[in-house]
Amino acid sequence: MLLKRLQPMMFQARRNYVELMFQVMGRALQAISDVDEPTREEVRALPEGFLFEMQVMPNGPKLIVEHTGDGKLHFHGDTAPRPVDLSIQFKHMAHAFLVLSFQEKTSVAFANDRMLVDGDVSYAVRMTRVLNRLESFILPKLVAQRAVKEYPADIHLPEKLMSSARIYLKVATQFVETVRA
Amino acid sequence: MTNKYYEFFCPVKVIAGKAALEHIPYELTGLAAKRPMIITDKGVRAAGLLDPVIAACEESGLEIVSIYDDVPPDSSTTVVRDIAAVYRKEKCDSIIAVGGGSAIDTGKAVNILVSEGGDDIARYTGAGVLKHPLKPFFVVPTTAGTGSEVTSVAVITDEKKGVKLPFTSSFLLPNAAIIDPRMTLTLPPHITAATGMDALTHAVEAFTCMAKNPLSDAYATAAIKKISQSLLAVMDNPKDQDGRLELAQASTMAGIAFSNSMVGLVHSLGHATGAICHLPHGLCMSLYLPYVLEFNLESIRESLGELLLYLEGPEVYSATPASRRAEASISAIRKLRDALHKRCELPRTLKETGKVLETQLEAIARQALDDGSIMFNPREVTLEDALSVLRRAWA
Ligand SMILES: [Fe+2]
């Protein structure tokens, strides 16, 4: 009985969390691509003006970033200026939550059929590596090790730069604690 | 409880064994198909492999309306369009693909066009585009390796743009795969060896990569056992019908395994090498398999160790301490490569192929990093990692 009444709240909280994490990730992607050479190196292989989207099916939250040239990413929020080139879609909010609360690695989620790729797979492979790198940046090392296949050895960025992302993350973790049970 | 979740799907009817080809007419009739078209290549036709297929149909009063036998090794959008035109002109109502990976992929792509309409196959690229079942489609594999008869993927080259178009849909799967030992009986030794190693690699990667699951594991181990027991026997006695059937079945089983669990770095490197140096796919698999397993070793120690049972049998498995089994599995695969080298000079290193330059290694590594299969490799792979595997495989 109680569970039935609580469930809509939980669904809402989960949705809020996923929306918030997309915001955090979008901003962090933009920030990292400004300063981190390995990230830029990956992104340079994408065409200029390339639009990347992460979305929860069927009409859930979205994250859209654009490659504006020379490896730099620009965060567009949840609206794309034109049709996207590559879309990674979670089949359900529950799966997005698993990945974005770092309970399931991005690569494992792919392997577990939680997500679909619409677009060129080689670009998806690149974006997955960029996302892995992002997770290693914004997460405390201990959590990051759970979220990515291997923790990169060459992570050194000015601490200040990432601290704002970490603040978002703190808010985010509180959601996890509320919703996880 | 873990987060583990998986999906497994294989709706292909497998028709396997002695006189399997003679079941084609009955199976076609069951799908109300009366005017089949055969899609194949010149090699298959020259080897006389179409004769038993045609004879089997004619004897049942089923006419093969059209035969297209000019599928190139790397099939293209133009070829697909041409075949679709013939299909329509001859009012065919079903497709039988006879051959290896290229003929089968071509059959899948032609089936999209003749079922969905239009001349532009590029319109149907990507995932989730097809929403309806296609025309009746049968596959008769003539190499025991690719497993394409049970995969929901086709790759066709767009010559004008110079890119490979991937098509993915469960509707590409054939209604039936017909596995008849007569079809692989005349495969020359080096192709038997290379395609056998391709099938072995499918099974080993399916069992050790990230998307492994209990059902794909069962198919993978059974395939490895059959290949270990029959590949060398068939190399020594090519007319061994039972051994040929074992290899053909193993290839299909390995195909079912990897189409549900994906492959890893051996395939990423192999696809890149095939594109840059034009080496046959099976050979690339054989070249890289042991070195990639060494690279992945600490992430896959347990699963790789289990494979020793299927590679070497129960005596060796039980005599090997658990902590040494993973290494012993790699040695078993190396031993198999040596044996194949002795029998048909199947190269064991990139240098031995005589077709790869050391200066090409970096390009191969870069391209491998963009290959979809790298996502499912159990270890993250950097450019440096890929290069170091390539250097070990060099000589
Ligand atoms: Fe393969």
CATH of the domain spanning B13-182, picked from 3.40.50.2020, 3.40.50.1970, 3.40.50.460, 3.30.200.20: 3.40.50.1970
State residue B109's pLDDT score.
97
> Could you read off the pLDDT of B188-218 as tens digits, one per residue?
999 999 999 999 999 999 999 988 999 999 9
Q: What is the mean pLDDT of residues A67-81?
A: 93
Judge if pTM exceeds 0.95: no
State residue A176's pLDDT score.
56
- Please name the residue of chain B whose CA is at the shortest distance from the CA of residue A103: B3
- Please name the residue of chain A whose CA is at the shortest distance from the CA of residue B4: A112
State residue B89's pLDDT score.
97
Distance B148 CA to ligand 1 centre (A): 9
Q: Residue A149: list chain B partners with CB under 8 A.
A: 378-380
In chain B, what are the domain boundaries?
Answer: 13-182, 188-394
State residue A181's pLDDT score.
42
Contacts of B177 (CB under 8 A, 6+ apart): B12, B13, B14, B15, B16, B138, B139, B140, B141, B149, B150, B252
- Angle between helix B265-277 and B281-306 (nearest 10): 170
CATH class (in words) of the domain with range B188-394: mainly alpha
Measured CB to CB, residues of chain B less than 8 Å from chain A are 3-7, 126-128, 166, 209-211, 262, 369-372, 374-376, 378-380
* pLDDT above 70 (res B298): yes
Distance A48 CA to ligand 1 centre (A): 33
In chain A, what are the domain boundaries?
Answer: 19-167
* pLDDT above 60 (res A158): no
Third-level CATH fold of A19-167? Nonspecific Lipid-transfer Protein; Chain A (3.30.1050)
Q: What is the mean pLDDT of residues B246-254?
A: 97
